[in-house]
Structure 1
């Protein structure tokens, strides 16, 4: 479902590409029914950086500053939400990346105790909450956040 701009002439369509392990945010012009700008936000690989692409097929398009700012605010929020864990210490990023790859970002309730024990063996207690949340969206008590 697209997110319409308050003035209604533009919208943002957000999709996830499993093969790319990335979120795609597209700024669409509603009247011309065309995509003007696409932001790609990888959320699995710390080495890949977010990028913004302009559609060469659409040609030159005039986008009001307020609309572009609104779009980039959405992109910024997606970068912060999907990549915040990549700003942690490098040792924690490595643990989180491995856990996300190994468990595909999801663990069931029955898997929490053994995974929690594994994480406790690798990271200091004060970092446990950040690692569990980034890797699985769960707290150290196993609760889904």
Structure 2
């Protein structure tokens, strides 16, 4: 569902592309029913950087500064949310990435105890909460956050 900009002429649509392992944020002109700007925020591969693309071939369109600033603030928030774990130490990033790929970001309650035991043996205690949060959206006690 699109999120409207306060002026009502623009909206933000956010979707996830499974084949691309990335979030797509589109700035749409509501009146013209067209996408003007697209931000792509990969959330699985630390080697891929977020990008911003402007729609080509559809004629010029002036985007007000306040609208563009609002859009870029939304993109920045998505980057923080989706990629925050990538700023951790490289060895912790590797553990999180492996867990996300193996478990697709979700783990059933019955599979949690053995995985948690392995993590406690392999990951320093100070990093366990970050690993659990970013790999599964859970705390070190297994509760869903």
Match of 1:56? 56
Cα distance in 2 for residues equivalent to 1:38 and 1:143: 35
Once the two structures are TM-superposed, the CA of residue 111 in structure 1 deviates from its matched residue by 1.1
For structure 1, the residue ranges without an aligned partner over 5 or more in a row are none
Matched residues, number: 145
Match of 1:87? 87
Once the two structures are TM-superposed, the CA of residue 118 in structure 1 deviates from its matched residue by 1.2
Match of 1:132? 132
Once the two structures are TM-superposed, the CA of residue 61 in structure 1 deviates from its matched residue by 1.4
Alpha-carbon displacement from aligned partner over 1:26-63 (angstroms, at most 9, x marks no partner): 00001111100000000011110100001102232100
Match of 2:37? 37
Cα distance in 2 for residues equivalent to 1:35 and 1:117: 47
TM normalised by structure 2 equals 0.98
Once the two structures are TM-superposed, the CA of residue 85 in structure 1 deviates from its matched residue by 0.2
Cα distance in 1 for residues equivalent to 2:144 and 2:4: 30
Match of 1:15? 15
Match of 1:105? 105
For structure 2, the residue ranges without an aligned partner over 5 or more in a row are none
Q: Is the Cα–Cα contact under 8 Å of residues 2 and 14 in structure 1 kept in the other structure?
A: yes
Runs of 4+ in 1 over 3 A off after TM superposition: none
**Coordinate RMSD, CA, aligned:** 0.7
User: SS state of the match for residue 39, structure 1?
Assistant: strand
Match of 1:28? 28
User: SS state of the match for residue 37, structure 1?
Assistant: strand
